[in-house]
Structure formats: structure tokens, C-alpha cells
Amino acid sequence: MPVISDPHEINVDDLFIDLAPMFDVPLYLKCEGLNLAGSVKLKAALEMVLAAERSGLLAPGAILVESSSGNLGIALSMIAASRGYGFLCVTDSRCNPASRRLMETFGAQVHIITRPDKEHGLLGARIDYVRRLCAYDPRYVWLNQYTNAHNWLSHYRSTAPVIDAQFPELDVLFVGAGTTGTLMGCARYFRERERPVRVVAVDSIGSVTFGGPALPRMIPGLGAGVRPQLLDAGLVDDVVMVPERDTVDTCHAMARRGFLFGGSTGTVVSGALRWLAGRPEGERLTAVAIAPDMGDRYLDSVYDPAWVERNFGTPRTWDAPAPSPLPPAAEPARLMRSVG
């Protein structure tokens, strides 16, 4: 019988779902939300905290502060509670109420930014607030998930090797792009092993990460109003941009088969389906997508019919997406040059 002393030790890291019966495509989904933090962000949070402790950056009495749309904030709240640190999450109005309540239950403080930066949106305003706070009060320690190498290292050391071990004949891997920590860790792992694995980034329309225009986005998680500093576009083979309406529809389609996943997962799966729909008929591929989060924190948004109708119109039944894997007027080579 396992006996644990830290909450992060509760973590199932090797479970995959075969989505073929659901969507009639050859696609496996790696579940990253089967831990007490409920998302893939537990890995980056733990890696960054442990590295900061080893370096002496974190000491007793310190207060962690981080900008987060929800999932990393929850993970850091849990870790801070278990290790005796204070924690302040700087988020914005898109953060789900359930995520805010969960962070506060762990003892964290939550500061909500409501006014976007004129050039970099709500994310830019959040980062600016964190910088000013740390300059004003030295008790605050910013791990900075947007630039911290331990963000992507956590996935280089854990996420990618698990996928590699389970799928030695892997052809294509779909990874959501937020801070791009998961994306870069997996891409570096497979690139260094000279494996013929195509790494496809999945992002939300309205995100600027891969050079598109900044547009309003309603679903927290993937996407960014500021281009992530961790991103090395040369490690990405293709990019799929997903409308948020498709994210909602894909989440609902999975829920109708008994799988409740979060908005980030809905985006990744929708992007994978779009990419696979554009492949030659009869082509055989071993494909894996990474599911960053579970859906319980989206009951007041993605899974609320009133919220969906208010933001996206009448909910619709799911149909297989038409192939449209890239932003308008962009081919893979051109896209990579434009953002590299």
C-alpha cells in the first residue's frame, strides 16, 4: 500500500485514452489532470519550486507570486500550502470562479486584473503588476513561468519520456501552446533523439504566440497576449489555430461520452482532429495529444449552456471539423520563419 506525505505525490502519469471510438480517428489522449492540482501545470510548478529552493531563492517566510489564468495558480497554491510558503496568484477576469475558490481554499490570495494593457492585453497587465509588486516588496518571489527553463525541463524529464515509452512508433504529437513549456520540453526531447516525430502546436485564435493578431478570448488556459519567451519556433513542425467555439463543441462531444475535460484539452483535441482531417486518406499514423486539464473547473463556463449561448450562440451538435490546420495565408515554412 503506497503511503505519501506530500500532495504532489498523488499523480497518475501514464494513462492514455483511445479516442478512435469517439471521433473515428487514430488518436490517443495522454491525461495530465489525474493529480490533486488537476492539470499538467503541477509538473512545472513543482520543478520550479524545487529548483528555487536548491538555489536559495526560496527561503522560509517567502511569498510566492505568479501570473496565472488558473491551472498553474492552483498547482502553486497546493505546493505552497504543503511546503509552508505564502502565495499570491495574479489572474484576470477570465479565470474560472471555481479555480479562484480552490486557490483560496489552499490559503492563497488571488488578485484579479480587470483592465488590459493597451498593447499586451490582460496577460501584459498581469505581468506588469507582478513586476511592480516584486520591486516594491522583497518578500515576494516570482518564479516566472514565462521565462523559467524549469518549466520546459519538467516535461523534457517526465512527460515526453512517458509518451516515448508507451508509443515507440509515434508519428505525431499534438501539444497545446500556453507558456509553451510543455511544447518545448516535448519538442526538445524528441528532436534530440532524432526521432521522426512531428510536433504540432495547437493554439487558440486570438493568441499572438505564432504571429496572429490579438483578439478577445474567453476561455483561460492556452493562448497568450504576449509572445512566450520560452518558445523556439524552429522546434515546431506545424501549428493549428482553433476557434474557441470549436473548443466548446469538442468539450461537449467528449462529455457526452462520459469524459469531462477542460477548455485547454478541448482546444488540443479539436486541433488534432483538424490536422488529422487534412491528411491523405488511408494514411496510417500513430498520433498522441496531450490533455492538459480536467473539466470540473469549467462547469460555470464551457459546460454552462447560458454561458455558451451568451458568448458563442446556441450550442450545436458536434461534427467532424473541416481540415484547416494553419492560420490564413500561412504555410508551415513561412509560418516558422515569421515567428522564429
Higher pLDDT, 76 or 225: 76
Higher pLDDT, 252 or 118: 252
DSSP string for residues in 144-160:
-TTT-HHHHHHIIIIIH
Q: How confident is the model at residue 2 (pLDDT cuts 50, 70, 90)?
A: confident
Triad 222, 334, 205: Cα angle to 5°: 25
pLDDT of residue 338: 37
- Least trusted range by pLDDT, from 11-25, 50-64, 196-210, 323-337: 323-337
* Confidence band for 193, pLDDT divided at 50, 70 and 90: confident
Cell numbers linked to 45: 510548478
**How far is it, in rounded angstroms, from Cα 227 to Cα 324?**
23
Cβ neighbors of 53 (< 8 A, separation 6 or more) are: none
Q: What is the pLDDT of residue 215?
A: 85
Q: At residue 336, does pLDDT exceed 50?
A: no
In sequence order, the β-bridge partners of residue 215 are none
Give the confidence band of 94 by pLDDT, cuts at 50, 70, 90.
confident
Q: Is the pLDDT of residue 201 over 60?
A: yes
**What average pLDDT does this structure show over 38-54?**
95
Give the pLDDT of residue 309: 93
Percent of the chain with pLDDT over 70: 92
7-34+149-339 CATH pick, 2.40.160.40, 2.130.10.10, 3.40.190.10, 3.40.50.1100: 3.40.50.1100
Q: What is the pLDDT of residue 315?
A: 65
How is domain 41-142 classified at the CATH fold level? Rossmann fold (3.40.50)
- Closest by CA to 205, choosing from 40, 114, 326, is 326
Residue range(s) occupied by CATH 3.40.50.1100 in the chain: 7-34+149-339, 41-142
For the chain, how far is it from start to end, CA to CA, in angstroms? 49
What local confidence, expressed as pLDDT, does residue 321 receive?
A: 54
pLDDT for residue 337: 38
Quickly state the pLDDT bin for 196 (edges 50, 70, 90).
confident
C-alpha 175 chain-centroid distance: 8
Concatenate the DSSP letters of all residues of 68-133 into one string: -SSHHHHHHHHHHHHHT-EEEEEEETTS-HHHHHHHHHTT-EEEEE-S-BTTTHHHHHHHHHHHHH
For residue range 250-300, list pLDDT tens digits in order.
999 999 999 999 999 999 999 999 999 999 887 889 999 999 999 999 999
Dihedral, CA of residue 170, residue 172, residue 173 and residue 179, to nearest 10: 140
The average confidence (pLDDT) of the chain is 89
